[in-house]
Amino acid sequence: MDYNRCIVTNLHTHYTIMILSHPHHSTISRQEQFRLAKQALSRRDRGYGLIATGLGLVLSVIIELIWLQPLLKHIPASLAIPMIALVIGGRCLIVGWQRYTFHRRLQTATTIAHATIIDCWIESAFDGEPGVIAWELTVTRPDGRQMSLRQADLIDPALVARWQASTAPVRYLPDNPAISTLAIDLLAESIRPL
């Protein structure tokens, strides 16, 4: 295995993160790895928690404004906190709904293409140190132009060392290739047995 070292600055503390990259694939920059790993983690979230949080905040603000505001009208800035909570709740609802609709659309993705694996690594910057596989999907748009997208999914960290293939099957929506995922059921030939 090939170990890459990266110095990360966190306010006044410097520490080294070990990144385990697969030696058979071209290693991408640490910044690109981190961006793709964050994307893979957020893609895994279906948005239910954000929707529930957003609804809770918005409803609590409505209740506060209806029942408590007449009691608090003499306190300066009594509307500031509810308005901040309303903005945060609204943002949670929007992001949660985006993630929810992403996963709903992902369930309808049936087009399969073989994407080039650009890297496969264990991400030590996140809890649980998930395995991440990144690919570049190149598709032809309806207007005939080629489009390339770099995306990633989380995989079992034990699979990183066993990964053999330079391509992987990816399911995507032809009208929006950004909605794509690894075709897990078709991956058996890409993994070396123990």
Q: What is the pTM of this model?
A: 0.66
Quickly state the pLDDT bin for 160 (edges 50, 70, 90).
Answer: confident
Quickly state the pLDDT bin for 59 (edges 50, 70, 90).
Answer: very high
pLDDT for 191 equals 56
Indicate if the pLDDT at residue 92 is higher than 90. Answer: yes
Instruction: Give 98-115 as a DSSP string.
Output: HHHHHHHHHTT--EEEEE
Quickly state the pLDDT bin for 90 (edges 50, 70, 90).
Answer: very high
Lowest mean pLDDT among 25-29, 90-94, 107-111, 133-137: 25-29
Residue (of 162, 180, 159, 158) closest to 171 by Cα position: 180
Task: Please report which residue ranges of the chain form alpha helices under DSSP H.
Answer: 30-44, 48-63, 69-72, 80-106, 157-160
User: Under a CB-based contact definition with an 8 Å cutoff, are residues 135 and 43 in contact?
Assistant: no
Domain boundaries of the chain, sorted by first residue: 20-45+110-190, 48-105
Task: List beta partners, residue 10.
Answer: 13
